[in-house]
Amino acid sequence: MVKWDPVTHAHVVRAIHEYDRLGADRFFAIHGFARTLSYDLIWEKRLYPPKAILGTAYEFATGKRLSSADFEGGKSGAVRVLRDLGFQIEAKNAR
C-alpha cells in the first residue's frame, strides 16, 4: 500500500506543469501511465489524468517511481488523495 503523506499540493501542481510542458503522449511515455477512463482532475479549466498526475507527484515527492498497477485510480485511490489535497475531480460522465 502506497503512503501518500509525502505528496503535497505543490508536488501535484509540479506534475501538472510537467504534463503541460511535455504534452500527453510524452508525459505518459516518460512517467509510465495512460489516459484516464473514468475521472478528470480539473485545474485552471483544463483536464488532466488523475492517476498519472498523482503517480508523477509521488515520484517528485519521494524520488521513487510508481507503476499504474501500484495503486488504485478510482474513488478510493487517486481521486480521494487528490481531493484531500484540495483538487477538483469529476467523473467523465458528469459533464
Identify the weakest region by mean pLDDT among 28-37, 50-59, 81-90. Answer: 28-37
Q: What is the mean pLDDT of the chain?
A: 94
Per-residue confidence band for 74, with pLDDT thresholds at 50, 70 and 90 = confident
22 has a pLDDT exceeding 90: yes
Residues 6+ apart with CB under 8 A from 52: 19, 27, 28, 31, 33, 34, 36
Written as nine digits, the cell of 45 is: 479549466
Tell me which residue has cell 487528490.
Answer: 82
Phi/psi for 78 (5° steps) reads: -60, -40
58 has a pLDDT exceeding 90: yes
Q: Report the candidate in 40, 22, 82 with the shortest Cα–Cα distance to residue 57.
A: 82
Report the pLDDT value the prediction gives residue 12, as an integer from 0 to 100.
Answer: 98
